[in-house]
């Protein structure tokens, strides 16, 4: 059914503009893009971190990226790091948290185009230092 109304003209024009610039991505496209970035840029960094932690005697598990959770997980002790696609199709969501009685952690986002090994390495290392370090040292920061 074709619309004959002229209401929401600004909304209609913005939607056309966003579609023309690939700013409206279906969730499937966002997931595909995330899988590419996770496999090529994030997973190698997580494997480096896993090796460093295992060398120190810690047990580490890496999960995903999988279709069901649509995330990539990294677990060590009571700490979890999670990467997932944002709904906008342009950013990766990062969540770092400690699974204790006092839930501690933080979230951030970064653009897919900034998902290069060195920035991801800094992000992962900072999160691990914050969450694995002595509690007293973290309270002062």
Q: CA angle, corner 48, sides to 45 and 52, nearest 5?
A: 140
Residue 3 pLDDT exceeds 70: no
Q: Which letter does DSSP use for residue 68 in this model?
A: T
- Total-model pTM: 0.75
Residue, of 90 and 93, whose pLDDT is higher: 93
- Residue-level pLDDT at 28: 65
- Residue-level pLDDT at 29: 66
Q: 86 near 30, Cβ under 8 Å?
A: yes
Q: 94 near 37, Cβ under 8 Å?
A: no
- Residue-level pLDDT at 69: 83
- Residue-level pLDDT at 140: 45
Residue 91 pLDDT exceeds 50: yes
User: Which sequence spans correspond to the domains of the chain?
Assistant: 26-140
Residue 119 pLDDT exceeds 60: yes
CA 10 to CA 57: how far, in whole Å? 59
Q: Which letter does DSSP use for residue 90 in this model?
A: S
pLDDT band at 106 (very low <50, low <70, confident <90, very high): confident
pLDDT in tens, 13-71: 887 887 776 666 566 667 888 899 999 999 999 999 999 999 999 999 999 887 788 89
- Residue-level pLDDT at 121: 96
Q: Give the whole-number percent of the chain exceeding pLDDT 70.
A: 81
């Amino acid at each position: 059914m074709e619309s004959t109304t002229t209401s929401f003209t600004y909304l209609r024009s913005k939607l056309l503009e966003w579609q023309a610039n690939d700013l409206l991505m279906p969730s499937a496209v966002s997931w595909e893009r995330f899988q590419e970035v996770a496999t090529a840029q994030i997973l190698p960094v997580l494997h480096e971190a896993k090796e460093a932690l295992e060398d120190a005697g810690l047990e580490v598990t890496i999960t995903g990226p999988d279709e069901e959770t649509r995330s990539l997980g990294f677990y060590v002790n009571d700490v979890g790091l999670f990467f997932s696609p944002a709904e906008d199709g342009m950013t990766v969501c990062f969540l770092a948290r400690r699974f204790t009685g006092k839930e501690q952690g933080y979230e951030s986002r970064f653009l897919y185009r900034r998902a290069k090994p060195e920035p991801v390495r800094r992000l992962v290392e900072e999160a691990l230092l914050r969450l694995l370090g002595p509690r007293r040292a973290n309270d002062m920061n």
